[in-house]
Amino acid sequence: MKPVILETPRLLLRPLGPEDAEAVHLACQDEDIQRWTVVPSPYLPEHAEGFVNQISPDGWQNDTLYNWGSFTRDGALVSSVGLSFPGRAGFAEVGYWTAREQRGRGYTAEAVAAVCDWAFATLGIQRLEWLAGVGNVGSRAVADRVGFVFEGTLRSYLEQRGERRDAWVGALLPTDRAAR
């Protein structure tokens, strides 16, 4: 798919590019991002460069990962929001992280809602799943705000740096967003 730009009242969501490598690298120095996501730890400049120059563009080209950086109107990186497609028709997973200095403003929920609405309207997605390590209350707060319905805990579901972790799982259906 050709990369897509989305806009919300406060944010611009666009595919990350080479010009974003430094901001992504700085954001991913945050201990919480490294604790709760699968980004490498330590997160080096070459990891950010690989993400913006190869992983993200390849995902769009191969229809395996659609990833956006969300930015304030003055150009500050807020978050990364991605849709991945595990191979079931009509199904996708959403994942995200938020730069520490941008947390608590509702930006990431706004960005995730825009991506979910786009996925339902444009891709015909019938079920979006959100997964987070048990205890990641920030991610759960975003999912709750967007309207994901908490469905339970999956034991030993996530693998992160060679260790198995329990995961919270929630789902969002097109009718859930329409009801909001």
What is the per-residue pLDDT across 133-157, written as a single tens digit (0 to 9) for each?
Answer: 999 999 999 999 999 999 999 999 9
Q: Could you give the CA distance from residue 22 to residue 60 in angstroms, rounded to a whole number?
A: 21
Q: What is the mean pLDDT of residues 155-163?
A: 94
Residue 42, Cα to own-chain centre: how many angstroms? 20
Q: Is the pTM of this model over 0.75?
A: yes
Give 5-37 pLDDT, tens digit per residue: 999 999 999 999 999 999 999 999 999 999 999
| Per-residue buried b or exposed e for 64-78, using 16+ beta carbons within 10 Å of the residue's own CB | ebbbbbbbeeeeebb
Question: Which domains are assigned to the chain?
Answer: 6-179 (3.40.630.30)
Residue 174, Cα to own-chain centre: how many angstroms? 18
* Predicted pLDDT of residue 141: 98
